[in-house]
Amino acid sequence: MNSEWNIRTCTDQCVACQKKFADREALMSRLRFAEDGYLREDFCSACWPSRSQREGGEVSAWSAIWVAPEKKAPEPLKKETAESLLREMMETDDPSRRNVIFILAVMLERRRILVEKEVQLQPDGRKIRVYEHKQTGESFVVPDPQLRLKEIESVQLEVMELLGIPPPPGKGPKPDPGAEHKAAEPPHA
């Protein structure tokens, strides 16, 4: 007889009292044979001695330590937030935000939300990039500001600030070295 074993991993709570296990808490587990095959049950130390033996079929029992799963680090770029920010900025059509719009579009392209479909070269040499939203089919026409490498970091930091993402350590607005000295000087009379 060749039956597949489909035994689940440890749950986060006691099967008897439903109390959630604390991180690093000792627990007892058992494997028993039920109608549908093998069944794993996890018990807190208080419920283990009074577990029901009526069900029968207890094949194995062991002690374990429940380790809380590591919390996932928040995704550095929330797709919906970046997308909604791009949409909002494109509606305002503020020329001072063109660099931010371009960086947002590139970020969403890297996340495979937008796909570049065409690059149009204007008579004055400017490039216009046409992106398509993979799910909705919408088109986004984004002027390419032809950013220089040294300009990209400051625009990325601006985008991070708009998205509410803290800058990486050592990055972000640089303090004005003379600001402290200027504040300490008495006003001129």
| pLDDT above 70: percentage of residues in the chain | 79
First and final C-alpha spacing in the chain: 99
User: How high does pLDDT run on average in the chain?
Assistant: 80
**Residue 113 · residue 83 · CB < 8 Å:** yes
Instruction: Give the least confident one: 52-56, 88-92, 152-156.
Output: 52-56
Which DSSP letter does residue 113 get? Answer: S
* pLDDT single digits (tens) 122-139: 898 889 999 998 888 888
Confidence tier at 187 by pLDDT (50, 70, 90): very low
Does 44 score more than 90 pLDDT?
yes
Q: Could you tell me which of 106, 93, 112 has the C-alpha nearest to residue 147? A: 106
Q: How many CA atoms lie within 13 A of 138 on its CB side?
A: 11
User: Distance (Å, rounded) from C-alpha 154 to C-alpha 145?
Assistant: 14
**Phi, psi dihedral angles at 21 (to 5 degrees):** -75, 140
User: Distance (Å, rounded) from C-alpha 81 to C-alpha 62?
Assistant: 46
Domain residue ranges in the chain: 9-71, 79-163
Helix residue spans in the chain (DSSP H): 79-92, 98-110, 149-163, 179-184
R_g of the chain computed on alpha carbons: 29
* pLDDT single digits (tens) 102-114: 989 998 999 899 9
Question: pTM value?
Answer: 0.48
Label the pairing between strands 139-144 and 114-121.
unpaired
User: Distance (Å, rounded) from C-alpha 157 to C-alpha 165?
Assistant: 9
User: Distance (Å, rounded) from C-alpha 46 to C-alpha 22?
Assistant: 14
- Looking at residue 74, its pLDDT comes to 65
Does 186 score more than 60 pLDDT?
no
Question: How many CB atoms sit inside 10 A of residue 88's CB?
Answer: 13
Q: Which residues contact 114 (CB under 8 A, 6 or more apart)?
A: 105, 108, 131, 132, 133, 134, 140
Confidence tier at 84 by pLDDT (50, 70, 90): confident
